[in-house]
Each structure stands twice: as structure tokens, then as C-alpha cells.
Amino acid sequence: MILSERDSRTDHLLTVARQMMTAARTAPKGKGVDIIEIITVTADDIKVLSDKMIAMVEDHGMKFFLRDADNILNAEAIVIIGTRDQPQGLNCGYCGFKTCESKAKDVPCAINVTDVGIAIGSACSTAMDMKVDTRVMFSVGLAAKELGWLPQCSNVYAIPLSASSKNPFFDRKPKTPETPQEVK
């Protein structure tokens, strides 16, 4: 049998995505409380995510979402990691409030934010070990959050995956000119 890397690439990337999800799940959590949610999207769902990002530009005007929406179409899989809102009762004040009970409802618990960051780092480290190209993208995570793909989660981030000759998630050009030097 002859197995081409090109023919097995998608299967390999899905295996890496599964390993990344496990790495995120097993990453250390504040107080040992697991409030992380993780999914992987592929194929047509990547297009749904891209379309949502394009639609979001009209709401908030962040034009780089157009670039990112186009960019994720180069991904074979996207790992999405979020954290449910659950103050940890430490009264640490890291959120800006003296106690967890006095914290404004729309302000995330700093421990929750830290947990999602550690999970993202662990997932990206796994991808790096497997020689897979990634980039952490809050824009894609925000679109996944608005689509309701991680119910009850805030602080949602996405990690698109690629195995190509050059990482498509870096050295990206704006989809539309954003500076006078780019207009020619």
C-alpha cells in the first residue's frame, strides 16, 4: 500500500484536534473546578462560522473579521474553547470587585479567564508538538459564541488548524485596505 500525506492529512488533523481537546480538558484549573467547554468544527461548519463573522462586521465594524473569516477557510479543523461563567468564591479581587458577590454580573471571573487561557496554551502546545500550524483567534471564538455553539460560555477562543507548506494564519493581508499605504 502507498499512503500519500495529502490523502491522509485531514484524518491526521482530526486526530491532532482530538488530542488538543484532551490537552485543554486536562490542563490545570483554578480550585480544580472544570468549567471549560471544547468542540471541534470541520467542513461545512467552518463555512457557517466564516459567514457569521462576515455578518458580524455590520454590527461592530471590526473590519479585520473579514480577513479572519476568509482566513479560516484554509483550516481543516477549528478547535473552539470557552469557559462557563462561574465565580470561584475566592474573593481575590482580580476581577476588580472586592468580593465575588459584589462582582457585576457581566464581569467575568478572573479565575475563569485564566483557566481558558491555560487550556488554550495546553492545546496549542499539543499542536506544536505534532507540527501542526495554528493561531489563537478571538474573532472566530466570538462568532462561535454568537452562534451558540458553546452554550453558557463566555471568553470563547478558536484555534484553526492547518498542515500546509506555510502557516496560512500568519502574514495575513487585510481583506480591505485599512491604511493609506495599502491603497494603490
| Domains of the chain as residue ranges with CATH | 29-173 (3.40.109.10)
Half-sphere exposure of 30 (CA within 13 A, CB side): 21
Backbone region of residue 84 per phi and psi (left: phi > 0; alpha: psi in -120 to 50; beta: other values) = beta
List, as one string, the DSSP characters of the chain: ----HHHHHHHHHHHHHHHHHHHHHHS--GGG---EEEEEEEHHHHHHHHHHHHHHHHHH--THHHHHHHHGGG-SEEEEEEEE----S----TTSSSSTTTS-TTSPPHHHHHHHHHHHHHHHHHHHHTT-EE--BHHHHHHHHHTTSSTTEEEEEEEEEE-SSS-TTSSPPPSS--SGGG--
CA dihedral 180, 181, 183, 184 (to 10 degrees): 140
Residue ranges of the chain with per-residue pLDDT less than 50: 177-184
pLDDT tens digits, 32-73: 999 999 999 999 999 999 999 999 999 999 999 999 999 999
What is the pTM (predicted TM-score) of this model? 0.89
For position 57, what pLDDT does the model report?
94
